[in-house]
Structure 1
Amino acid sequence: MLIGAHVSPAGGPANAVTRGEERGCRSIQIFNQSPRMWKARVYNDEEVAAFHAAMEASYVVEALVIHAVYLLNCASEDPEIRSKSLESLKVALNAGAQLGAVGVVLHPGSALKDGGPADEAIARAAEVIREALDESEKCPLLLEDTAGAGGTLGRSFEELAALIDGAGGGERLGVCLDSCHLFASGYDVRTAESLRGVIDEFDKVVGCDRLGALHVNDSMTPLGSNRDRHTNLGDGEIGREGMIAFLSEPRFEGLPVIFEGPGRLGKGVEAVDMAWAHDLRSRGLAARLS
């Protein structure tokens, strides 16, 4: 399990490797462009070469995940937003191919603000996703499950499966599961037993072979709240036992597992957060062996 964190790529993606090393990350996640702007950020040959050199020299960081920016809404009814989302997603996938990323994580999109017909929104999103895959380099695309607020898509395993099928079901399509989002959307992951049941269900509906990355975050809000509010591992409603279970689930072995924050020191993710995550994982592994 490659436990890591979301870090900044400011100054070029090679700097993200350095920031990951400073925090003790075995994997890192970055935005490939400003999360507040549509303007694309295309890496030049020198930046790509510097990133690969940094990864080859790193004694800690082993994997990169790119997170598409939150502005994207592949399910929007507005053709302009869908067009912008398509172009931004293609840039992210091409960046992932350049940098050798495990995948690009995408929030699939949102239906009408009042909830809207989910099947129509899934069809719109799937069309954009299919087109982005067809027109980009061969980097995997990982659809992230959502907390279920408003009309967001991906709140259930059935919706994720429908998005994958609608987008062609190709090998490049995968999933990134977020512990906080699972819990907020009604999947109980507070114990090893309940998590095992949730992943059994995921395997039946989507398939564990589709898992490409994970986000490990505790939840400030209760089970089924449909509110995406992260807190530090073990400090929220999922609790320490749930975080231990998530970080030691056998079917997650070998995957990048990204902690997104806020961080125990209140200044973003730091080395202390990575040490704590590894401590929780060690407890889970010890329990499995006892």
Structure 2
Amino acid sequence: MLIGAHVSTSGGLTKAVDRGVDLGADAIQIFNQSPRMWKPTAYREEDCAAFSAAMAGSRLGAVVIHAVYLINAASDDPEIRAKSLASLIQSLTVGAAIGAAGVILHAGSAKTGDVAAAIARAGEVIAEALAQSPDCPLHLENTAGAGGTLGRSFEELAALLEASGGSPRLGLCLDSCHLLASGYDIRTVDGLTDVLDRCAATVGLDRLGSLHLNDSTAPLGSNRDRHAAPGAGELGVDGLAVFLSEPRFSGLAVILETGSAEGAVAPADVDLARELQRRGATARRQ
């Protein structure tokens, strides 16, 4: 498991590597452009080459890209659909250029419409994006389930994968906060084991590509996406220790998105995650 954090690319791609190293991280997550704007950042070949060289010379073992929040692959608005498709293709293109382990995507929302129809629309956009982009994995993120967001259950994630054509490039990003908020109690070893068994039966654990490590201010089954700093929410240090000790997560990048420094991840948060991983692993052996 590669303990990492979301970092800024302000000042250039290589600055993200520096920030990850300063945090003591083993992996980083970045946005390939402003997360709340459609306009893509124009990275040159030399920018991507410099980033790859910086990664190779650092302690970092993986980078993942988070696609922009504006994307709604399920939208029935032709303009939003077109912009979502173009943005996703851009993210996958940058991901391939920098050797990313994957692009993480919130597939979209049905809003108040029919969920099955929204999943079908999202699948079409995702399939088109994969067909029109270089070979970079795409990780569909599970959601807390608020506002008609798609992916609140393993069944919905499986339906999205099927609607997208089931490409081997498709995987999952499991977010600990979203799992709890959508009703999956992962705070005990038995609970997490049961949840992952359900994931294996419904989607397949071979699809697991990355993880988000977020605590939750909202309770189990609330369907509210409210991150808390590690250990400060409903999962708490014990629940996070369980999550981090899961042997089936071995080798995956696990990204802290919210930290204790006014919401930003600090070195102390990365250190805490590592300590909780050790604590959880020890508890499993006893």
> Which residue does 1:273 correspond to in 2?
269
Matched-pair contact (CA < 8 Å) for 1:70–1:107 = yes
The TM-score with structure 2 as length reference comes to 0.98
Structure 2, unaligned stretches of length 5 or more? none
**Structure 1 residue 196 corresponds to structure 2 residue 197:** no
CA distance in 2, matches of 1:96, 1:196: 32
2:88 is the alignment partner of 1:92: no
The residue correspondences of 1:98-137 to structure 2 (distance < 5 A) are: 98-112=97-111, 114=112, 116-137=113-134
Please list, as runs of the form range in 1=range in 2, the aligned pairs for 1:1-290 lying within 5 A after superposition.
Answer: 1-58=1-58, 60-112=59-111, 114=112, 116-261=113-258, 263-266=259-262, 268-290=264-286
Structure 2 SS opposite 1:61: coil
Distance 1:216 1:35 in 2: 19
Contact 2:229–2:263 (Cα < 8 Å) also in 1: no
Secondary structure of the structure 1 residue equivalent to 2:148: coil
Q: 1:140-195 CA deviation, whole Å, 9 max, x = no partner?
A: 00000000001100001001000101111010000000000011011111111101
Contact 2:107 2:151 in 1 (8 A): yes
Q: Distance in 1 between matches of 2:263 and 2:110?
A: 34
Tell me how far apart the structure 2 counterparts of residues 87 and 169 of structure 1 sit (CA, whole Å).
21
Letter in 2 for 1:15: K
Q: Secondary structure at the match of 1:64?
A: strand
Q: Percent identity?
A: 60
TM-score scaled to structure 1, two decimals? 0.97
Deviation of 1:289 (Å) = 2.2
- Is the Cα–Cα contact under 8 Å of residues 180 and 228 in structure 1 kept in the other structure? yes
C-alpha contact 2:123 2:161 (8 A) present in aligned 1? yes
**CA contact 1:32–1:67 (8 Å) conserved in 2:** yes
Q: State the one-letter code of the partner of 1:286.
A: T
Counterpart amino acid of residue 201 in structure 2: K
User: Residue 100 of structure 1 aligns to which amino acid in structure 2?
Assistant: G
Is the 1:42–1:95 Cα contact (8 Å) retained in structure 2?
no
Equivalenced residue count is: 286
Distance (whole Å) between structure 1 residues aligned to residue 183 and residue 56 of structure 2: 41
How much has 1:267 moved relative to structure 2? Answer: 5.3
Tell me by how many angstroms 1:201 deviates: 0.3
User: 2:4 is paired with a residue of what secondary structure?
Assistant: strand
- Compute the RMSD of aligned alpha carbons: 0.8
Describe the superposition over 1:235-286 as per-residue Cα deviations: whole angstroms up to 9, x where unpaired: 111122210011110000100000101x223251111110011010010111
Could you list the runs of 4 or more consecutive aligned residues of structure 1 that deviate by over 6 angstroms after TM superposition? none
Preserved CA contact (<8 Å) 1:17 1:55: yes
SS at match of 1:74: coil
> Which consecutive unaligned segments of at least 5 residues does structure 1 have?
none
Distance of aligned partners of 1:14 and 1:78 in 2 relative to their CA distance in 1, 3 Å threshold = same
CA distance in 2, matches of 1:279, 1:216: 14
